[in-house]
Amino acid sequence: METNFQATSQLYWISVLVTALMDVAFIALLAWRIKPARFRRLQWPLVIVSTLFWTVLWYAVMWNAFVWETSYRYVFQPWQRWAWPPVYGLISGGVTWLFWWLSLRLPANPVLYFLLLGGLESFGDHYFAIRNGVMETPLLQEVSIASAVTFGFFEFIFYWSVILGLAALLPLVWDRWQASKKEKGNSL
């Protein structure tokens, strides 16, 4: 796939700034709305949402022609397009449980710790990608490792904010659905 688009370090540093500002807003909103007692009850909604989120996200990027042709085909084998998303999703479910457990054992608001741990997780993922040559791919060859890794930290805080937000909504939707079922049952 031919493209005139070339990612650069400057583009990544701008993305760091934009993503960091979005993260601050998400962190503040989530920390305000999800108190520690509520966070404690989100164990399984977090695991479920995280597993689904990462599986779907990885399928989306693995099967995006632009992303595959300009970078991932240099890092992954073709068979991994099918295998990697569910494997990563399942691993992420376990990592989510670990982050939830650790966040509750640290002082102060567990939401903050949960999201920071999510950002730190990006270092392992990006180390793997860099070690496997992603920075030499046509799309990323003009991007510095520092800008890519820094962006990855804030990118993952964003992803984990979405996961936490969806997980916090899941019990509310479930309760509303159960109440609706009960109401329909009583009206018969």
Per-residue pLDDT tens over the stretch 2-55: 567 889 999 999 999 999 999 999 999 999 999 999 999 999 999 999 999 999
Q: Residue 76: which residues within 8 A CB-CB, separation 6 or more?
A: 62, 84
User: Closest by alpha carbon to 74, among 22, 126, 116, 133?
Assistant: 133
Distance CA 114, CA 39 (A): 10
Distance CA 130, CA 44 (A): 32
**Across all residues in the chain, what is the average pLDDT?**
93
Q: Domain coordinates of the chain in residue numbers?
A: 9-176
Angle, helices 80-105/43-62, rounded to nearest 10 degrees: 150
What residue ranges of the chain have pLDDT lower than 70? 1-3, 187-188
